[in-house]
Chain A
Amino acid sequence: MDVCSINNIARCLVNSGFDPALAQFITILLGVVVVASFPLVVVIFLIWVERKFAARIQDRIGPNRVGPYGLLQTVADAIKLIAKEDITPAGADRLVYNAAPIMAVMSVLLIWAVIPFSPIHVGVDLEIGALYFVAVASIATLAIMLAGWSSNNKYALLGAFRVVAQLVSYEVPLVFALLVPILFASSMSMQDIVHAQSGMWFFFMAPVAGLIFFISSQAETGRAPFDLLEAESEIVAGFNIEYSGMKFGLFFAGEFMHVLTNGVLMAVLFFGGWLGPLVEQAPIILGPLYLFAKSTFWYLLSLLIRNTVPRVRIDQLMDFNWKFLVPLSIVNFVVIAVLLRLCEALGIAPAAANANDFVANIPQTLVLLLGNAAIAAYVLNRLRRAGREQRLAEAGRTLAAVGEKAAVAH
């Protein structure tokens, strides 16, 4: 007799007399509900974390009135948002306007369907998980664009302009960086990508790709310094300026979930997802724990960036993408592909049998790391030279100005 647990609900239901099809349906429904509500619940806590974190950086206390340590502040805020009047501006395109926030949240939630939480717990282990992620994440772009367009507001429109420019552009380096783990794992399935890292986390084999992925996913989410979509000091709130109440709340929650999702994806693609000591023994506890420990690191890093840097300008944003990130990500991808093939040809690559062995992975990792270091060294050198040229030009300008001034004052 099996012990009924979360791992075998379907079988338990059938054993207790349910129709197998119905049992299957209930299990899937349960899974969907759990996977979809988990991030929604977590986000309530995340907003508190963000506010406390920002407060500490800024030498403040942060929310500390509602509940212990202000933990219930977000709950109070959510109640306030729900209780607010639901306003649709007179000039707005009603259908699109109201659909946009739902799409924004939905696109993030859909990503969670392919996130592996543990060796056995994953919404759907799609064979094209990575492709699915790219496709679904693009819906968020569409949602924000629609929100900006349908609001019939000039600030929102400016925000929508920027969305088109920014989000569409940054998908290019994002996808190129995403290709690297796929290349390593020879599979698009998220679960396979995690399994492939049991010998060595991909970040150590391709740190450049990892960082590109992190930077461009920051831009995809519209977080600082790429928060041009809703640049408060410029276009007030950008695409969501006309939204209030829970419709605004959905955008807000969507953004926070997206940041967390970015962290989770970083963990899955580059930091071995749920992998960790003893995870096979207690997958239900340790798997998610490892996953979220890893993603929290990236989440907090994102907060740190948000609270310390100012915003770039739209032309600098585009320059950074098209003149820096895109070429870099392509070069990085090609170099890694070549090195990988080279390792195989030279016999440095671990054999299929001991692919999970840490030691067997070391030689190949070292080769790849060398490749990455070469790329990084070249890029940094290039940047330093460009910076020096710029500073020299600037110093020349100052000297010229001073000289002119001196000439005027005899």
Chain B
Amino acid sequence: MGTEVSANEAKTAKKEYVVRTKDLVKEFVMGGQVLQALKGIQLDIYRGEYISIMGPSGSGKSTLFNMVGGLDKPTSGTVFINDVDMAQLDAQELAYLRCRTIGYIFQSFNLIPVMTALENVTLPMIFAGVPNDEAIDRGIELLKIVGLGDRLHHKPTELSGGQQQRVACARALANNPAIILADEPTGNLDLKTGKEIIDLLKRLNKEQGVTIISATHDLKMLDISDRIVWIRDGQVERIEDRADVQLEVGVMEHEND
């Protein structure tokens, strides 16, 4: 483990780990060449934390996000979710984990286009075996939480980008997950709606106690993050607390370009 991580570990010794990665390596074969997207990532994330994974395009944040979310398998190394080694899980257990432990929010929303907002939100509950009526009640409740109580029966195409992303947030929360993974949730949104989503995520983080892991290069996200993980060339460059970051915003903007 890196020194920064050890330091953080000391600070939050009483907190539980919700996600831990160990020597995470992911290689892609592109045009006959092996490309290392992740080069041994060590990352510990605590329960109830709002963590932002920052880094320029191609730095490997989306890959890391996919590994942590169990959407792809690492070449080597391990991911622990609630201290369970993901590599040891079979397909059914992995599906169970994706269904109940992790909620996903994507840059391109990824709502099922043929389903209404409510149906999109209830789908993970149906997969989890929740009875239909119960799922609908909870779905309505969740959509109210994200401020779409009056748009229950609208299809994604009938909603604005911000509204779609809010449906996605509600969907991510459907099965009371321990973790919400948000891959550039504001990437496809304008400033104002992006801000709304960020506020919503923060609110969910505070009120529902969900751990939020967000891959982003939206600097507004930094403001509300508990910690920021900087990734560069597939490695953790540094991990900073929010207090440190605010001082360095200007510098980072420069770095990001």
Q: Is A bound to B? A: no
* Chain A residues with a Cβ under 8 A of chain B: none
